[in-house]
């Protein structure tokens, strides 16, 4: 998919003309839900509404995502401006904007629907753009879940399947976006640095309170968003269930953040355009906020070094802030909807003394708590988790926290039995956090220290100490085999074993 602000031209005059057009360009939001509507309100509040156009999905109201109480708290003047953004005149009559109008009148159109609609919206937008011959209108999304191809039964990150699709997001609380004094950060990501810089420039004009930084990691940013939505559920659970055992919270939250980024790094290694992402840029990546052009991690694989992941996410500050902020209980206002779902999960497990029998039961808990299950992107992402984990070869020690949540909601009866103990017992959860982040093969060393009375354990540790024998101890015939999990072993080991065996 071609998706650029600029023609493939070497004519300097026409390029200068295009740059001038972009300096006066408008941004469009299509399918206006809670987040884009809150951004639009912020733009109206900051008197920069002329740079923004809105178009609701057919059959939806502009303020339909807000409660009656929230609407009553809005300034009527700003609401009036929002309605002006969503309408235009035809034959002296005001008519609502639609997707075609946005593509005809904007240079950047953000498709703001969630995962239920976004793939179809993108296909429709591409058709309209081609029909209108507006090929230099850039399309972007902010969907925080995984897409799913029902025909091929394939789950994927939308930006990975459409590598030139832009991605826009950052940390936000919808109520705070209606605060005239609060400020926010966001990222606009496009694999071409020039387009990323241009898009960030256009979005920066929407409000003095919203600072947008450019970046090239659109696939990674969208993955982090989806992983964050799942992590927020577990964070909400931990806050609610372990509020009397607050010592476990920093461990859980730190691990959730680290694993979001580690998973995104693994996804980055699967990018087909990964090499040219760094080598074919007209603007140096250091000018987009990088400390260095590239940061890579390597592993010693028995005498040779293997590059395993790319950690060049220094420009995704707003995305990392989004992960942190979404896992925090705010001083005022409500936490994110996924966080609230996690609290609801904790309350239900406390009430019944068990995991939800099915995902449908958990969804009913959410509905009873006033949470629309259609708005819980973290829960949608979790449905496709097993396919995503396999598709991007995500190692278990980088996904242990999401796997634990998956066990609670989608596991078999035995898995849920042990997962309940891990989630609800502070010591079990702490042990799980410590042990599950170790690569599976490395736990045999930990186990050896617990069984020093056995000759094999002493041999293993002695061989590791002696550098010349270390390789033979790990790979040779004298190496110790991993101990099988026994029925009397603690719950955290039982859950780890079930997850790693792929049950």
Mind listing the pLDDT tens digit for each residue in 126-160?
999 999 999 999 999 998 899 999 889 999 999 99
Average pLDDT of the segment spanning 64-72: 86
Please give the share of the chain, as a percent, with pLDDT higher than 70: 85
Q: 387-433, pLDDT tens digit by residue?
A: 999 999 898 889 999 999 999 999 999 999 999 999 999 999 999 99
User: Which pLDDT score is estimated for 254?
Assistant: 93
pLDDT of 80: 94
If one compares 349 and 143, the residue with the highest pLDDT of the two is 349
Count of residues in the chain:
503
Per-position DSSP letters for 64-112, written without gaps between them: TTS-HHHHHTS-HHHHHHHHHHTEEEETTEEEE--HHHHHHH-SEEEE-
Give me the pLDDT at residue 487, please.
81
> Taking a C-beta distance cutoff of 8 angstroms, is the pair 63, 79 a contact?
yes
Neighbouring C-beta atoms of residue 434, cutoff 10 Å: 13
Alpha helices in 270-316 (DSSP H): 274-279
Q: How many C-alpha atoms does 347 have within 13 Å on its Cβ side?
A: 13
Q: Is the pTM for the entire model greater than 0.85?
A: yes
The C-alpha R_g of the chain, in whole angstroms, comes to 25
Is pLDDT above 90 for 20?
A: yes
- 111 vs 273, more confident: 111
Residues facing residue 110 across a β-bridge: 29, 140
pLDDT-derived band at 82 (thresholds 50, 70, 90) equals very high
Summarised one tens digit per residue, pLDDT across range 287-299 is 787 656 566 666 5
The torsion region of residue 12 among left (phi > 0), alpha (psi -120 to 50) and beta comes to alpha
Q: Where are the domains of the chain?
A: 12-223, 230-314+324-437
Please, are residues 495 and 404 in contact by the beta-carbon 8 Å criterion?
yes
Residues 28, 82: Cα–Cα separation, whole Å: 12
State how beta strands 93-96 and 87-90 pair.
Answer: antiparallel
Alpha-carbon gap, residue 169 to 143, rounded angstroms? 9
Confidence of residue 374 (pLDDT cuts 50, 70, 90): confident
CATH architecture of 12-223: 3-Layer(aba) Sandwich (3.40)
Question: Band of the pLDDT at 472, cuts 50, 70, 90?
Answer: very low
The yes-or-no verdict on residue 467 having pLDDT over 60 is no
∠ CA 36-105-189, nearest 5°, is: 50
């Amino acid at each position: 998919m071609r998706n650029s602000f600029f023609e493939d031209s070497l004519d300097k005059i026409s390029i200068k003309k295009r740059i001038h057009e972009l300096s006066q360009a408008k941004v469009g939001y299509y399918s206006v839900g809670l987040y884009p509507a809150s951004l639009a309100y912020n733009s109206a509040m900051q008197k920069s509404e002329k740079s923004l156009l809105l178009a609701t999905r057919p059959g939806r109201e502009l303020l339909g995502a807000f409660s009656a109480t929230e609407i009553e708290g809005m300034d009527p003047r700003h609401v009036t401006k929002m309605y002006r953004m969503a309408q235009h005149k035809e034959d002296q009559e005001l008519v609502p904007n639609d997707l075609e109008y946005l593509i005809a009148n904007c240079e950047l159109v953000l498709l703001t629907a969630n995962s239920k609609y976004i793939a179809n919206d993108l296909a429709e937008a591409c058709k309209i753009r081609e029909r209108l011959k507006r090929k230099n209108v850039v399309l972007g999304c902010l969907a925080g879940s995984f897409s799913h191809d029902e025909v091929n039964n394939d789950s994927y990150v939308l930006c990975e399947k459409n590598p030139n699709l832009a991605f826009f997001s950052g940390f936000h609380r919808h109520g705070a976006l209606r605060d005239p004094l609060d400020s926010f950060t966001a990222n606009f990501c496009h694999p071409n640095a020039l387009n990323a810089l241009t898009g960030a420039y256009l979005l920066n004009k929407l409000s003095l309170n919203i600072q947008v930084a450019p970046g090239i990691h659109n696939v990674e940013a969208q993955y982090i968003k989806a992983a964050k939505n799942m992590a927020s559920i577990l964070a909400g659970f931990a806050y609610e269930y372990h509020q009397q055992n607050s010592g476990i919270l920093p461990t859980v939250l730190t691990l959730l953040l680290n694993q979001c980024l580690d998973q995104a790094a693994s996804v980055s290694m699967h990018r087909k355009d990964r090499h040219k992402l760094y080598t074919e840029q007209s603007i140096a990546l250091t000018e987009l906020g990088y400390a260095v052009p590239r940061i890579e991690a390597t592993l010693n694989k028995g005498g040779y070094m293997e590059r395993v992941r790319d950690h060049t996410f220094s420009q995704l500050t707003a995305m990392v802030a989004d992960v942190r902020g979404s896992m925090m209980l705010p001083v005022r206002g409500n936490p994110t909807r996924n966080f609230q779902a996690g609290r609801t999960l904790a309350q239900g497990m406390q009430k019944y003394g068990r995991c939800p029998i099915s995902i449908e039961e958990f969804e009913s808990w959410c509905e009873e708590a006033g949470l629309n299950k259609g708005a819980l992107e973290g829960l949608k992402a979790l449905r496709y988790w097993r396919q995503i984990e396999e598709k991007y070869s995500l190692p278990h020690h980088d996904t242990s926290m999401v796997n634990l949540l998956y066990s609670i909601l989608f596991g078999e009866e035995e898995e849920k039995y042990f997962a309940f103990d891990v989630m609800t017992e502070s010591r079990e959860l702490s042990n799980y956090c410590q042990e599950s982040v170790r690569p599976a093969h490395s736990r045999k060393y930990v186990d050896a220290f617990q069984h020093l009375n056995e000759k094999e354990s002493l041999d293993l540790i002695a061989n590791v100490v002696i550098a010349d024998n270390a390789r033979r101890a790990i790979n040779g015939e004298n190496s110790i085999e991993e101990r099988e999990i026994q029925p009397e072993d603690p719950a955290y080991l039982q859950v780890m074993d079930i997850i790693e065996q792929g049950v």
